[in-house]
Amino acid sequence: MPPAKAGRWETDGSQPVRQADGPTTGGTGPASAQEALSRATTHLLSLQSSEGWWKGDLETNVTMDAEDLLLRQFLGIRDEELTKATAEWIRSQQRDDGTWSTFYGGPAELSTTVEAYVALKLAGDDPGAPHMQAAARHIRDSGGIAATRVFTRIWLALFGWWPWERLPEMPPEIMFLPRWLPLNIYAFGCWARQTIVPLTVVSAHRPVRPAPFALTELHTDPANPFPQRPLAPPTSWDGIFERLDKFLHAYHRRAVRPLRRVALAQAARWIVERQEADGCWGGIQPPAVYSLIALHLQGYELEHPVMQAGLAAFDRFTVHTEDGMRWLEACQSPVWDTCLATIALVDAGVGADHPALVSAVDWMIGEEITRRGDWSVRRPSLAPGGWAFEFENDNYPDIDDTAEVVLALRRVAHPDPGRVSGAVGRAVDWNLGMQSKNGAWGAFDVDNTSTLPNKLPFCDFGEVVDPPSADVTAHVVEMLAEVGMAGDPRTRRGVQWLLRNQEEDGSWFGRWGTNYIYGTGSVLPALVAAGLPEDHPAIRRAVRWLEDRQNADGGWGEDMRSYEDPKNWAGRGDSTASQTAWALMALLAAGEGPQGRANPAVERGVDWLVRTQLPEGTWDEPQFTGTGFPWDFSINYHLYRLVFPVTALGRYLHGTPGIGTLAGSLPRIGAAR
């Protein structure tokens, strides 16, 4: 096991913890802040690629690595060298109690531990070894394989370690459901539908590859390894859907074969049509692995170009460590990282015409998506214009990235302003067209708010719908204000939604970052940009909440457990560079700090950033502060620890950018409709 990082307290996960002081790089005050900002800015500039983009590693958990080995075992392509390097990484992430968690310092997670254990057994680890015995003991004590999530048991079913009959059924005939029915594939969030469609193919085939070993040691009762759970009351949603699942199992045995063949062919065609230029699906791991399995079951040989491109995509998601280990990113974030880095550098005082920024704008404009994707199902007449998160994901541009890219483009003095304004105009129109009927914005789709998909027995892991959220809505509102549309009725509807959805304690819930600090750090700059006065009651309540949540060391932090237990964890946890920066960005926007009201909380937060900066100019941040699915899937964006402190320090020293910072170089975008 790797040693604990110096200067941090260990925790058993029962209570919030405070982080001890990190490296000291200087005293307090503007001079020290300027020195810290200069180091950080230099370091950030050094990380830019020759093509103009930035991309930090995107770290999740070892299920990515375990499932990669299981996929290769299923397809018959697993090799020993790759297996050894992956197993070394999985072992390095095991905790002292033998388990694995889904985020740094988090509690043990059963399904993750099962998948890691199976992967290590594939790699040849002896079940009698102490680290394997400890993992197996925890698995049994936690309910065994029978207590794992559905997706884990699907992987086990592929090798006969779990019976398909004991898994929820999802038939490929779902492809035929009209779009007005609540459980059609477009009722699911884009990431969920991309995963569910291939899994309907897998579920229909129910393949079983020869198991290389048994897993009897992971059952609580080897004599009854596949217990049947009692049905919930028929008057409950769980009971209704469990009985529907029984009907679907019966249908599986009696499916009309011609209809089933047509459904499978349509699902396979749907999958192939959505393969991206880089061979991946949706730019994320789950659709990619299940799509490869599904297409292989439909007769696509490994030599087929679709399969070859899909397998090759995983090489681009692979991170090789200096000590010979290998791990996989669940996704890659170059567009997101590049727009955030661009904003940060301009806020830090880098010239708006700096070659690095012009190069970043050129790259971002080249990544604009100009064709329709799944979002057009609900908006068929809306013209395309926006950006995705990844290098290649033309089917699924997202509203959040698009808003932040516009903010970045507006900050740079590009030699071809007409080219920039054209991209900005298309993006603004697309974002406005993606506004949900309640006035807010989700991440990928419009009005994707049905709660029924989450109730399916199949969907027991993570969010499967994409409702509007405060953080995405705030970024769009801030972008609309920047392009001169603060008074537009659609912007005002977004503002009103944000005000209605403020938490009682004054914070906002963050869907795509952790969590209430992220939500509040997103909303306050947006509200001020949209014209709310700094003394507005909602802004004052948020300021008081942030002041109350500041740690004793001067920083801010929030543990992922706030998604599950906000009472004890909202705004509580180890101080981190990214979350301290979010809090500072919110306070500075609200008029706190050197350009407004003198606020000791701001000075202490800046002091924390100065004191904990590393010599190379970045910060140590093993904590996970990004979110895929609240609580279920957590992310450590390795660039967050740098871009957000640069933004916060820059705004502390130079002021929060005003509305229309570069309004003179670009035309006003959009007119009230």
Look at residues 309, 445, 306, 330 and name the one whose alpha carbon lies nearest to residue 386.
445
Q: What are the angstrom distances between the C-alpha of 93 and each of 104, 105, 113, 391?
A: 10, 11, 11, 28
Backbone φ/ψ region at 24: left (φ over 0), alpha (ψ -120 to 50), beta: beta
Look at residues 17, 33, 8 and name the one whose alpha carbon lies nearest to residue 552.
17
Backbone φ/ψ region at 51: left (φ over 0), alpha (ψ -120 to 50), beta: alpha
Contacts of 473 (CB under 8 A, 6+ apart): 440, 441, 494, 497, 498, 526
Helix then strand then coil, % of the chain, to nearest 5: 50, 5, 45
Q: Enter the tokens of residue 86.
A: 């992956």
- Residue whose entry in the numeric block shows the structure tokens 């692995």: 289
Among 347, 400, 401, 559, the one annotated catalytic: 400
| C-alpha–C-alpha distance, residues 316 and 313, integer Å | 5
Q: What are the angstrom distances between the C-alpha of 419 and each of 356, 394, 414, 415, 521?
A: 18, 20, 9, 9, 31
Q: Amino acid identity, residue 188?
A: F
Contact criterion met (CB below 8 Å) for 430 and 368: no
Contacts of 99 (CB under 8 A, 6+ apart): 108, 109, 113, 134, 135, 138
Look at residues 383, 408, 386, 384 and name the one whose alpha carbon lies nearest to residue 397.
386
Q: What are the angstrom distances between the C-alpha of 39 and each of 26, 32, 514, 613?
A: 12, 11, 26, 9
Q: What's the count of helices (H) and strands (E) in the chain, helices before strands? A: 24, 5
Active site residue 548: no
- Residue whose entry in the numeric block shows the structure tokens 């802040």: 33
| C-alpha–C-alpha distance, residues 550 and 557, integer Å | 8
Q: Amino acid identity, residue 435?
A: Q
Contacts of 46 (CB under 8 A, 6+ apart): none
Q: Enter the tokens of residue 573.
A: 């946890």
109 three-state secondary structure: coil
Q: What are the angstrom distances between the C-alpha of 101 and each of 126, 219, 443, 602?
A: 22, 20, 27, 33
444 three-state secondary structure: coil
So which residues are the catalytic ones?
Answer: 400
